[in-house]
């Protein structure tokens, strides 16, 4: 690390998405010239497990050829149910809400272990799951069946079970901190605000994240959501807040893993602070990986 240039260190803070089923010229040159922290896959990148394994092998080979020779985090939103990027030739898990309805932690852990094993077999080493948002708002347009339910204790215990299952084989990333469950806006399209006071946040939104941390989850993804009870700066989302990422998550909750932003091209960020400026702000706030999924 001491021998790395500043540019190489910055590159390690970035995780990119790319178009198509082959390594794009831009991605190839960026990995070789600068090194890169990671790559995120979407359905647009994947044909089948064999293809994904070959693609990931090529990506890691490029990383080894870079100046720093550091391997990539390679992740995907393989939550199950309506959000699954690898769907051919694998056992796509049911939605989190279905697992919450079954309410058997051993079943949740086993299913997530199978999903983690299948991802690892393709060379994918990080899963952006579980969603540990508490789906307490019936008008929430973006969480819904991605959540284990509307009761914080149930979400917490199944989130912890999911982490245990995934992390037999891959790094799990609990999301979206400090909670995207009680919003009526989709942060892909606008900037939501959660107005609850600290007491309610402690009882509901925070509980599943604390359980995930107790389960030694390796990553936590941030929410592009404003929490005035934690961050008094008007309109400053959790992703860009030092009070949320460093003072709350790091210092108060004692989280020692990776803090990963949600995609910085989502409208909640791109249309307010802008992807470029917000990337710098997120690092200053305490983020370790800046996710730029599209362009």
Residues acting as catalytic residues? 188, 262
Residue with tokens 């999301």: 175
**Alpha-carbon gap, residue 241 to 283, rounded angstroms:** 10
**Residue 232 corresponds to which tokens in the numbers above?**
């008094």
Measured torsion, CA atoms of residues 289, 257, 285, 280, in degrees rounded to the nearest 10? -10
d(CA 182, CA 171): 27
């Amino acid at each position: 690390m001491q021998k790395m240039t500043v540019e190489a260190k910055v590159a390690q803070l970035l995780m990119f998405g790319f178009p198509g089923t082959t390594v794009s010229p831009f991605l190839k040159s960026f990995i070789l010239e600068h090194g890169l922290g990671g790559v995120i896959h979407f359905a647009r990148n994947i044909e089948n497990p064999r293809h994904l394994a070959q693609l990931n092998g090529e990506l890691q080979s490029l990383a080894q050829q870079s100046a720093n020779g550091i391997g990539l985090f390679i992740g995907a939103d393989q939550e199950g149910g309506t959000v699954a990027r690898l769907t051919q030739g694998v056992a796509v898990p049911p939605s989190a809400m279905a697992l919450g309805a079954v309410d058997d932690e051993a079943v949740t852990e086993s299913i997530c272990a199978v999903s983690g094993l299948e991802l690892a077999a393709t060379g994918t080493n990080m899963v952006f799951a579980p969603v540990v948002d508490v789906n307490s708002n019936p008008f929430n347009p973006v969480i819904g069946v991605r959540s284990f339910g509307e009761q914080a204790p149930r979400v917490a215990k199944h989130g912890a079970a999911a982490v245990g299952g995934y992390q037999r084989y891959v790094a799990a990333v609990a999301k979206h901190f400090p909670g995207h469950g009680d919003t009526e806006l989709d942060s892909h399209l606008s900037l939501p605000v959660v107005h609850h006071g600290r007491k309610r946040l402690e009882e509901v939104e925070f509980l599943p994240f604390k359980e995930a941390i107790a389960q030694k989850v390796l990553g936590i993804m941030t929410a592009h959501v404003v929490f005035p009870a934690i961050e008094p700066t008007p309109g400053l989302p959790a992703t860009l807040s030092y009070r949320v990422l460093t003072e709350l998550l790091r210092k108060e909750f004692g989280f020692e893993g990776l803090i990963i932003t949600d995609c910085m091209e989502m409208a909640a960020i791109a249309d307010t602070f802008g992807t470029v400026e917000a990337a710098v702000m997120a690092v200053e706030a305490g983020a370790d990986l800046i996710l730029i999924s599209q362009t």
